[in-house]
């Protein structure tokens, strides 16, 4: 059996009872470490915290393990129970869907244990989930690569009055271009895109495209460490959010579409005042 188990968004306590029971039935436990991040990270101390809870050792699964060495993981699942732990919900990333497809083609039974993900947790700001359009990803720009495919999707969402969730780039165990050219992989330090960088890039693309999909005055909501005890949620214009320090990762951004009065009432809890501070407490968990 291959179990794919969502861990939720906060810390080790967010695993469900069903998920915890499944973990305890498994001989081998992998934890995926590149599409998201738990609040306490996946350092040696972080892994130790999880191992104490589960009573079993964990194997860190980076991008290479999942995308290039998945056959080895699936081979283990053909003869024993294997758990694959995912921050958030198992189907928050297409990589995990691919793992399910490959397992089922090999005749391996798969059980999925769901959990909270960024896709539904953003509802805490009051913007109704059914009023969201297509989700977009904002990648880190480089000197030679500045993609803008997300722009058209945001424009289409806003034309329909829909909100847009922007997932911000995570770069974990990425080989440097220079090392690839030399034929020997050397990895760059981990990088997590901030709301500030995302807005800078969004405004840069608007300057190039000039189709008024949004502007520095467009209302947005910035989220940091969503689902954690110290989560930060701030609503304001792009220009306002650009000046704030949202602190540690992970960050995401919502570009607000047409709002309902009930949504406006909830957003007031998170809005910035004229002095750049929030009007009310934003500590809703």
Q: Is 50 exceeded by the pLDDT of residue 39?
A: yes
Lowest mean pLDDT among 77-81, 89-93, 188-192, 281-285: 281-285
Interval 251-272 mean pLDDT? 96
Tokens of 106: 């090999």
Distance CA 120, CA 108 (A): 30
pLDDT of residue 85: 93
Distance CA 4, CA 114 (A): 8
Highest mean pLDDT among 9-18, 63-72, 268-277: 9-18
Distance CA 220, CA 10 (A): 23
Interval 239-266 mean pLDDT? 96
pLDDT of residue 41: 58
Tell which phi-psi region holds residue 269, choosing left (phi > 0), alpha (psi between -120 and 50) or beta: alpha
Lowest mean pLDDT among 59-68, 134-143, 173-182: 173-182
Residue 10 — very low, low, confident or very high, per pLDDT cuts 50/70/90? confident
Interval 63-67 mean pLDDT? 75
The residues spanned by each domain of the chain are 2-116, 119-269
**Binding site residue list for S-adenosyl-L-methionine:** 9, 89, 92, 117-118, 168, 226, 251
- Contacting residues for 106 by C-beta, under 8 A, at least 6 apart: 74, 78
pLDDT tens digits, one per residue of 184-240: 766 678 899 999 999 999 999 999 999 999 999 999 999 999 999 999 999 999 999
Q: What distance, in Å, lies between the first and last C-alpha atoms of the chain? A: 35
- Contacting residues for 87 by C-beta, under 8 A, at least 6 apart: 6, 7, 8, 9, 32, 35, 36, 37, 38
**Binding site residue list:** 9, 89, 92, 117-118, 168, 226, 251
Do 6 and 91 touch, CB atoms closer than 8 A?
Answer: no
CATH class of 2-116: alpha beta
Nearest to 59 by CA among 153, 203, 69: 69
pLDDT of residue 47: 80
pLDDT of residue 63: 74
Distance CA 148, CA 263 (A): 29
pLDDT of residue 285: 42
Tell me which of 2.40.30.10, 3.30.950.10, 2.40.50.500, 3.40.640.10 is the CATH number of domain 119-269.
3.30.950.10
Distance CA 254, CA 158 (A): 12
pLDDT tens digits, one per residue of 130-152: 999 999 999 999 999 999 999 99
Lowest mean pLDDT among 2-6, 22-26, 47-51, 88-92: 47-51
Q: Is the dihedral of CA 236, 238, 239, 241 positive or negative?
A: positive
Distance CA 43, CA 45 (A): 5
Q: Which residue has the higher pLDDT, 70 or 185?
A: 70
Interval 257-264 mean pLDDT? 97
């Amino acid at each position: 059996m291959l179990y794919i188990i969502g861990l939720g968004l906060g810390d080790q306590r967010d695993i469900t009872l069903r998920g915890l029971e499944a973990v305890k039935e498994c001989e081998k436990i992998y934890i995926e470490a590149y599409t998201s991040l738990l609040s306490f990270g996946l350092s040696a101390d972080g892994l130790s915290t999880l191992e104490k809870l589960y009573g079993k050792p964990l194997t860190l699964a980076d991008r290479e393990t999942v995308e290039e060495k998945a056959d080895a993981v699936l081979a283990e699942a053909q003869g024993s129970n294997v758990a694959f732990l995912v921050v958030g919900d198992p189907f928050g990333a297409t990589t995990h869907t691919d793992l399910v497809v490959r397992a089922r083609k090999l005749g391996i039974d798969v059980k999925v244990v769901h959990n909270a993900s960024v896709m539904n947790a953003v509802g805490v700001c009051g913007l109704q989930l059914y009023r969201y359009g297509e989700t977009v990803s904002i990648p880190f720009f480089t000197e030679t690569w500045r993609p803008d495919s997300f722009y058209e999707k945001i424009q289409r969402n806003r034309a329909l009055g829909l909100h847009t969730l922007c997932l911000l780039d995570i770069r974990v165990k990425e080989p440097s271009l220079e090392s690839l050219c030399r034929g020997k992989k050397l990895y760059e330090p981990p990088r997590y895109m901030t709301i500030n960088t995302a807005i800078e890039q969004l405004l840069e693309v608007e300057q190039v495209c000039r189709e008024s999909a949004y502007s520095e005055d467009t209302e947005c909501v910035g989220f940091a460490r969503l689902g954690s005890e110290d989560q930060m949620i701030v609503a304001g214009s792009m220009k306002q959010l650009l000046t704030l320090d949202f602190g540690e990762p992970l960050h995401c951004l919502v570009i607000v579409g047409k709002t309902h009065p009930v949504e406006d009432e909830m957003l007031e809890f998170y809005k910035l005042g004229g002095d750049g501070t929030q009007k009310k407490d934003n500590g809703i968990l």
